[in-house]
């Protein structure tokens, strides 16, 4: 039985609900992916983010923290011009900072 919030007309949402939601996953790569996706979700629905998840994977180098930590102005501009993701400048910039904190297990 699925939760009421799961839109059963959206296969991505069903897959997320059935295979990820409420299932403990301590893998750093997965946790970092969720950190990025959650940061973009602020003010939007989780379903909206799930619909763009694959585009985020591509745009953010498969959530490779070792690449994201070195994003420069050119990469930031590339992301800002990517119509397949949410193009919020502050959210994009903060993710590079978050990569550093996540990699070094710090809060700054």
The structural domains of the chain, with segments of one domain joined by +, span 11-103
Angstrom distance (rounded) from CA 95 to CA 93 = 5
Q: Which residue in the list 15, 38, 54, 78 is annotated as catalytic? A: 38
38 among known catalytic residues: yes
Angstrom distance (rounded) from CA 105 to CA 89 = 24
Contact status, residue 78 vs residue 51, Cβ threshold 8 Å: no
* Tens-place pLDDT, residues 51-99: 999 999 999 999 998 898 888 889 999 999 999 999 999 998 888 776 7
Count CA atoms within 13 Å of residue 27 on its CB side: 9
* Tens-place pLDDT, residues 9-43: 999 999 999 999 999 999 988 998 998 999 999 99
Q: Which residue in the list 21, 46, 47, 100 is annotated as catalytic? A: 46
20 among known catalytic residues: no
Specify the pTM.
0.86
Direct distance between the N- and C-terminal alpha carbons of the chain, in angstroms, rounded to an integer: 41
CATH of domain 11-103: 1.10.340.30
5 among known catalytic residues: no
Count CA atoms within 13 Å of residue 58 on its CB side: 8
């Amino acid at each position: 039985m699925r939760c009421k919030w799961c839109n059963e007309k959206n296969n991505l949402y069903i897959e997320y609900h059935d295979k990820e939601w409420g299932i403990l996953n301590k893998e750093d790569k997965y946790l970092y992916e969720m950190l990025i996706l959650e940061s973009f979700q602020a003010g939007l629905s989780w379903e909206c983010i799930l619909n763009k998840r694959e585009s985020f994977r591509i745009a953010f180098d498969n959530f490779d923290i070792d690449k994201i930590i070195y994003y420069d102005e050119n990469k930031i501009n590339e992301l800002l011009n990517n119509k397949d993701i949410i193009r919020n400048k502050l959210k994009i910039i903060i993710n590079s900072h978050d990569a550093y904190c996540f990699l070094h297990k710090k809060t700054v």
